[in-house]
Amino acid sequence: GEIRIFAREIVEKEIEKYAADGLGRVDYALASGGAMVVKHSEPYTIARGNNWFYATKLKDVDDDAAKMLRPSFGEPGQCFPLRGSNGFVEIKLRTAIVPEAVTLEHVAKSVAYDRSSAPKHCRVSGWLQGHLPTDQVVDTENMFLLTEFAYDLEKSNTQTFNVLDSAGSGTIDMVRFDFTSNHGSPSHTCIYRLRVHGHEPNSVSLLAAQS
Amino acid sequence: GEIRIFAREIVEKEIEKYAADGLGRVDYALASGGAMVVKHSEPYTIARGNNWFYATKLKDVDDDAAKMLRPSFGEPGQCFPLRGSNGFVEIKLRTAIVPEAVTLEHVAKSVAYDRSSAPKHCRVSGWLQGHLPTDQVVDTENMFLLTEFAYDLEKSNTQTFNVLDSAGSGTIDMVRFDFTSNHGSPSHTCIYRLRVHGHEPNSVSLLAAQS
Amino acid sequence: GEIRIFAREIVEKEIEKYAADGLGRVDYALASGGAMVVKHSEPYTIARGNNWFYATKLKDVDDDAAKMLRPSFGEPGQCFPLRGSNGFVEIKLRTAIVPEAVTLEHVAKSVAYDRSSAPKHCRVSGWLQGHLPTDQVVDTENMFLLTEFAYDLEKSNTQTFNVLDSAGSGTIDMVRFDFTSNHGSPSHTCIYRLRVHGHEPNSVSLLAAQS
Ligand SMILES: [K+]
Ligand SMILES: [K+]
Ligand SMILES: [K+]
């Protein structure tokens, strides 16, 4: 009787967390929340005739890049592949926040065909772009190192890393992930999903103004 | 040993329910089941130059309105925004049913940017349209009040409300949700998902005829 | 204390499995993994004027056929309907494998409008097509009977069947499902999802070469 009630409570809480985008934590880098990829290193594409050159060179942001800012729902292949064993992604957040953590998600071990294309070492920076165009270079003094981490293939496939204390409580609306190595693939590095967590400065006064 | 078996049973049952569209209950307002939005109050759109007027005035049903009849999978932003703090939605059900309950789903608290745009008070009516065109006004004598409810931000994000006994066991194929207030946003009211539950009259004889 | 830790462990493990495409098992027939439907029996379509004839006759593979190789996420209607009470589907796998099992998924009982269109008896064969075009008939000597099964409406909606020992450990890259009966619908047979499990021959040496 008592154990049953109690077991059910634990189950319901865990499923509730799972149902709430897997983590139950607000993500300011979510595409459906208004965030977008504004720049990334060269994508990995399979050449088809002569089209390959044009497909990858004509624009800054690939149509599929937003996949990195959307749920993967446990499905292998719902990722964006960067060319080579390293690369970068720059994201304009939904709104300016005081960052607290970032999350990197890869496909689960049990359903993956191969995980050598998973990112390994990563350096994350942030800055406030404000109303400047996103292709305009920001003064490096305004850039924060948010955190550096290594994605561990033996842990849960969704890994969250706290922002360093040294980052202080500055406000940012841009985040850059520099993937400096992967788990072995020489040809490409697959990014399933990137998230940025934090809180809005003066969030009380903004409550009524936002969706 | 015994506790383990027993805990696993509870977990499997709860996950099974979660996997079955979250509630494990048939939804006759589901878009992929053949239901559709046939009318709604003015959508909330952000003006872009002069296009806004045309975009919202030229048709009765916005292309995105079907979002209200599809799963949200815990993703913020997978909703349809109505202009202002109140509005309505009319739905043609997949088939005629004796209604038993309706469900209103909003985004989970833990991942929401802001929940002031959640609907609050709602009045739900139903009627049998049959083969009449859906834009033809039905005799108000044929309309039932199904239920009135208030969506509570402190409870589960998916809330089900039973149809009033006073509605009797009439058959309907149209449902109208009148949202008379929201949780504070003056600009818009976001509808994540609407469901209608019940049973088909003479369901046994129809079994072989339907998908 | 102890029971709590222990209950949480079970819950986390089961949710992890659910999050990993429901089964936590690699699927070589997944569309996003590169597999595709190459042939199927006539689809079930509702005639609209004179368009019906053209829509179903002009090509071998319907645009919607890939639905059978994608997750359904518990949503009724996310299936591909074959005409009549029997039919077949041929799939080119992502890569050549030694097959171990196949999975047939239908919609959950609790949210289904009707389950008479669920497949019942099924015969599964496999062969190695290699670089031959997929419309070229393969020598029947090279075809294996992988398994024969009956989908049981009273069991879990996702049912996995092991490959027969008699199939040996041959390598295949093509699988054909022959649905010889369904659960009662004379008009159509709905296929929600087909999966093929196994392992790659010499999988170690291929690790770095694949995504
Ligand atoms: K994704
Ligand atoms: K939705
Ligand atoms: K499907």
ipTM of the complex: 0.87
Residues A113, C211: C-beta atoms closer than 8 Å: yes
For residue A108, give both structure tokens.
């689960």
Residue A110 has pLDDT above 80, yes or no: yes
Residue B59 has pLDDT above 60, yes or no: yes
Query: Phi, psi at residue A86, to the nearest 5°?
Result: -150, 170
Closest ligand relative to B30 C-alpha: 2
pLDDT confidence band for B2 (50 / 70 / 90): confident
pLDDT confidence band for B203 (50 / 70 / 90): low
pLDDT confidence band for B159 (50 / 70 / 90): very high
Residues B15, C14: C-beta atoms closer than 8 Å: yes
Q: Distance (Å, rounded) from C-alpha C10 to C-alpha C5?
A: 9
What pLDDT score does C4 carry?
78
Instruction: Specify the 3-state DSSP secondary structure of B111.
Output: helix
Residues A207, B111: C-beta atoms closer than 8 Å: no
Closest CA to C40 of C77, C78, C84, C91: C91
Q: What residues of chain A lie within 8 A of the CB of B3, using their CB?
A: 3
pLDDT confidence band for A128 (50 / 70 / 90): very high
- For residues C150-174, b (16+ Cβ closer than 10 Å) or e, as one string? ebeeeeebbebbebeeebeeebbbb
Q: Distance (Å, rounded) from C-alpha A154 to C-alpha A51?
A: 39
Q: What residues of chain A lie within 8 A of the CB of C16, using their CB?
A: 108, 156
Interface residues of chain B, partner chain A, Cβ below 8 Å: 3, 6-7, 10-11, 14-15, 18, 22, 73-78, 81, 108, 110-114, 116-117, 156, 184-186, 188, 190
pLDDT confidence band for A35 (50 / 70 / 90): very high
pLDDT confidence band for B145 (50 / 70 / 90): very high
For residue A179, give both structure tokens.
């993937």
What pLDDT score does B7 carry?
81
For residue A194, give both structure tokens.
């990137």
Q: What residues of chain A lie within 8 A of the CB of B190, using their CB?
A: 211
Strand partners, A149: A122
Q: What residues of chain C lie within 8 A of the CB of B24, using their CB?
A: 108, 110-111
Q: What is the pLDDT of residues B4-51, one digit of tens each?
A: 788 888 899 999 999 999 999 999 999 999 999 999 999 998 654 444
The CA C72 to ligand 3 mean position distance, Å, reads 4
Interface residues of chain C, partner chain A, Cβ below 8 Å: 3-4, 7-8, 11-12, 15-27, 30, 32-34, 70-71, 73, 94-95, 206-208, 210-211
Chain A partners (3+ C-beta pairs within 8 A): B, C
What pLDDT score does C112 carry?
96
**H helix or E strand, kind and range, residue B203:** helix B203-206
What pLDDT score does C81 carry?
97
Instruction: Specify the 3-state DSSP secondary structure of C191.
Output: strand
What pLDDT score does B154 carry?
96
Q: Distance (Å, rounded) from C-alpha C133 to C-alpha C130?
A: 8
- Among the partner residues B21, B95, B206, nearest to C74 by beta-carbon distance: B21
Instruction: Specify the 3-state DSSP secondary structure of A18.
Output: helix
Q: What residues of chain B lie within 8 A of the CB of A16, using their CB?
A: 108, 156
Residues A211, B112: C-beta atoms closer than 8 Å: no
Q: In this prediction, what percent of chain A has a pLDDT beyond 90?
A: 71
The CA A106 to ligand 1 mean position distance, Å, reads 9
B60 vs A146, residue with greater confidence: A146
Q: Distance (Å, rounded) from C-alpha B155 to C-alpha B86?
A: 21
Which residues have CB under 8 Å from C13's CB, separation 6+? Answer: none
What pLDDT score does C211 carry?
41
Query: What is the length of chain A?
Result: 211
Residues B186, A208: C-beta atoms closer than 8 Å: yes
Q: What is the pLDDT of residues A68-99, one digit of tens each?
A: 999 999 999 999 999 999 999 999 999 999 99
CA distance C33 to chain A (A): 6
Which residues have CB under 8 Å from C86's CB, separation 6+? Answer: C41, C178, C179, C180, C181, C182, C189
Q: Which residues surround ligand 1, an ion (CB under 5 A)?
A: A 67, 70, 72, 78, 193
> Tokens 């060319």 — which residue?
A83
Interface residues of chain B, partner chain C, Cβ below 8 Å: 3-4, 7-8, 11-12, 15-27, 30, 32-34, 70-71, 73, 94-95, 206-208, 210-211
Q: What residues of chain A lie within 8 A of the CB of C32, using their CB?
A: 75-78
pTM: 0.89
Q: What residues of chain A lie within 8 A of the CB of C25, using their CB?
A: 110-111
What pLDDT score does A59 carry?
67
Instruction: Provide the 10 A C-beta neighbour count for residue A175.
Output: 26
Residues C34, A10: C-beta atoms closer than 8 Å: no
pLDDT confidence band for B208 (50 / 70 / 90): very low
Which residues have CB under 8 Å from A67's CB, separation 6+? Answer: A78, A79, A80
A13 vs B211, residue with greater confidence: A13
- For residues C68-94, b (16+ Cβ closer than 10 Å) or e, as one string? bbebbebbbbbbbbbeebbbbbbbbbb
CA distance A87 to chain C (A): 16
Residue B95 has pLDDT above 90, yes or no: yes
Residues A76, C21: C-beta atoms closer than 8 Å: yes
Taking residues B66-90, report their average pLDDT.
96
Residues A21, B81: C-beta atoms closer than 8 Å: no
Q: What residues of chain B lie within 8 A of the CB of A30, using their CB?
A: 75-77
Instruction: Specify the 3-state DSSP secondary structure of C14.
Output: helix
Residue of chain C with shortest Cα separation from A155: C16
Collect the ranges in chain C with pLDDT lower than 50: 48-57, 204-211
What pLDDT score does C133 carry?
81
* CB C171 within 8 Å of CB C129: no
Closest ligand relative to A68 C-alpha: 1
* CB B158 within 8 Å of CB B140: no
> Tokens 């759109």 — which residue?
B45
Q: Which of A3-12, B106-115, C61-70 has the lowest mean pLDDT?
A: A3-12
Q: What are the Cα distances from residue C107, in Å, to B142, B158, C186, C191, C193? A: 34, 21, 19, 9, 9
